[in-house]
Chains A and B, each alone.
Chain A
Amino acid sequence: DAGVIQSPRHEVTEMGQEVTLRCKPISGHNSLFWYRQTMMRGLELLIYFNNNVPIDDSGMPEDRFSAKMPNASFSTLKIQPSEPRDSAVYFCASSLKGEKTYEQYFGPGTRLTVT
């Protein structure tokens, strides 16, 4: 079975440019998470969707960040305009809500570098 798919795997962009990260969750999963990983702050939850609806976006750093989930098989995380401090690895994860364990399955990540 295909796991969580993320694209691109690597993104290098200049400050001020728009960046769009993409995620395809595991088929049948109804919850989707976007995380950011940095050396300084570890793993941070940015936003959580359930059944395509944003439930918790308290981790989104500021208005420059936005996320959408137009259907059950696709989500995007957009940064506009990007800044050097946004450089990090961004992970998407999905799970099946309703299972007691709420275990999440992570994608391979997108390494973003903003120069």
Chain B
Amino acid sequence: GNSVTQMEGPVTLSEEAFLTINCTYTATGYPSLFWYVQYPGEGLQLLLKATKADDKGSNKGFEATYRKETTSFHLEKGSVQVSDSAVYFCVGTSGTYKYIFGTGTRLKVLA
């Protein structure tokens, strides 16, 4: 079946450090892939997306590239800020309405 696996947290970084959160997927067909961010006490916000192989999604300094050969969609940011502290979810869908959620990775950025 379809699944999304993302790295366990929590991840603790100093401000201005480089961030990578790994995400891999298994799916039949060609999934669309998303990263969502959830700040404390809020809903999930769409951070970026990619719909086909080699697509790069980017937003607010975050980037992720849909790599079919490694079935990965790793989230990266070159310089994190305290305000980036949140839980990040990798999500996949194979052209249907059903979202397949990763378990979420909590990021804490220290000043």
Contacts and interface: CB of A to CB of B under 8 A. Distances in A.
Interface of A: 4, 31, 33, 42-43, 45, 48, 50, 55-56, 91, 93, 95, 97, 100-109
Contact of A97 (B89, B97, B101): B97
15 contacts: A31-B97, A42-B101, A42-B104, A43-B99, A43-B101, A48-B98, A55-B97, A91-B44, A100-B32, A101-B51, A102-B32, A102-B93, A102-B97, A103-B46, A106-B36
Given A45-B99, A106-B45, 12 more contacts: A4-B43, A43-B101, A48-B97, A56-B97, A56-B98, A95-B97, A101-B51, A103-B34, A103-B49, A105-B46, A106-B36, A106-B43
Interface residues of B, number: 20
Given A42-B104, A107-B43, A108-B42, A102 B49 contact: no
B103 interface: yes
Contacts of B9: none
B28 interface: no
